Amino acid sequence: MLTFLGFLMIFIFMILIMNKKMTPLTALVIVPVTIALFAGFGPQLGDMMKNGVKEIALTGVMLIFAILYFSLMIDTGLFEPLVNIILKAVGDNPIKTTIGTAVLTSLVSLDGDGSSTYLIVVAAMLPLYKKQGMNPLILTCIIMLAGQIMNILPWGGPTARVMSSLKLGHTEIFVPMIPIMAIGILWVIFVAYILGRKEKIRIAKHGKFTRYNSNDIIGEADPALRRPKLILINLALTITLLVVMILDIVPLGIAFMIAFCIASIINYPKLKDQQKIISKHAGNALSVAGMIFGAGIFTGILNGSGIMQAMGNSMIEIVPKSWGGYMNIVTALFSIPFTFFLSNDAYYFGILPIIVATGHQLGISPEILGRASLIGQGSHLLSPLVPSTYLLVSLAGVEFSDHLKYTLKWALGSSVIMLLSALILGII
């Protein structure tokens, strides 16, 4: 029953947002609360939601001030030289722009933090897409495809969870995955070429895309907010912030909060200008934060009610015993829905140990199954349970449902390519 309720909850949520019957925020809150009440979890519901929101609180704070900080830097013109350099390199060629997006995302993703990657790449590339009249869904698609592959880095999250859960080192889990990641990035560049070529043809036939959202991170340019004389100071502050983030000196949310306050004082000493900046970008920051806390309620109910664990166990039980000899392939294939419908913590700490215990009886080593469990990361970030996904779509000014529809087939393609490569190379 718990498994049924879990899949029903996610199914209803997906239907509502993909058909645009509810906003992601309202669906993230209303759907799980309704089903939890129906299932008799009313007395425990308050604690479940509170725990879910508490777990996501620091992420929400970080995203609010990260949006405010990078939006302020865009207003000052910090990214204009980078945009101009990229524009000179790609010209008015959508194919070069999409490939450049894939390469830039791969490089920026080396820090292992998806949120900062989205902020930096969207800030740098969205102006190019607007100038060339390209669909911003292409931007979010390519960024997510590249980010999902790079998320396998040990400091990205999933691989660290595998190593911790199975008590294995990076030489057993991550190092053998490097060729798979390289092939995955080549696949993303190939997809970027296809999407760029299609967009070039579309623009030639039907003209430039013009339906941009005025609430995206670029917004409406205000020349009065430009601070060209302070560009070196702003660059130094941003680099310092990134170093603090990489070295994990202070919590990232606190770092962005302090950096935003310093940047506000340096660039806009007058109080009315500081208030103007906050008012200008508060809507974008609030919409993202709302969805983040909504996701906290959703996952809080899934975890607190035991639904998420029941879903994982049920998915394991449906695997026929006769498939035991192919546990490596089964693990890789099932990691796609597992990492989509479950959180990384629930899968890698709750489900993977059960899979490994089963594999041990069949003579399949833990490191093979650990690597196989990472194949699903090729489509994981599309999950509605991943908070940073809402940041990406908000920054680019696109609907989550449109992004999901546009990106899903290419993300599944990433997982298939990774699986085939891992089998051919003997990684799993």
- Mean pLDDT in residue range 306-311: 80
Which pLDDT belongs to residue 79? 79
Which pLDDT belongs to residue 219? 67
- Mean pLDDT in residue range 415-420: 93
> For residues 406 and 154, which has the higher predicted lDDT (pLDDT)?
406
By the 10 Å C-beta count (0-12 exposed, 13-18 middle, 19+ buried), 243 is classed as exposed
Nearest CA among 143, 135, 127 for reference residue 77: 127
Which pLDDT belongs to residue 285? 83
Confidence of residue 137 (pLDDT cuts 50, 70, 90): very high
Flag whether pLDDT at 411 surpasses 90: yes
Flag whether pLDDT at 349 surpasses 90: no
Flag whether pLDDT at 154 surpasses 90: no
Confidence of residue 264 (pLDDT cuts 50, 70, 90): very high
Flag whether pLDDT at 180 surpasses 90: yes
Concatenating the DSSP letter of every residue in 313-356 gives HHHHHTS-GGGGGGHHHHHHHHHHHHHHHS-HHIIIIIIHHHHH
Which pLDDT belongs to residue 412? 92
pLDDT cut 70: percent of the chain above it? 96
The label of the residue with tokens 């909850």 reads: 9
Confidence of residue 87 (pLDDT cuts 50, 70, 90): confident
Confidence of residue 319 (pLDDT cuts 50, 70, 90): low
- pLDDT tens for each residue of 69-82: 888 888 888 877 87
Confidence of residue 25 (pLDDT cuts 50, 70, 90): confident
Which pLDDT belongs to residue 348? 84
- The average confidence (pLDDT) of the chain is 86
The label of the residue with tokens 């899949």 reads: 7
- pLDDT tens for each residue of 156-177: 778 888 888 888 888 888 889 9
Q: Tally Cβ neighbours within 10 Å of residue 170.
A: 14
Which pLDDT belongs to residue 304? 86
Flag whether pLDDT at 231 surpasses 80: yes
- Mean pLDDT in residue range 249-253: 82
- Mean pLDDT in residue range 179-198: 95
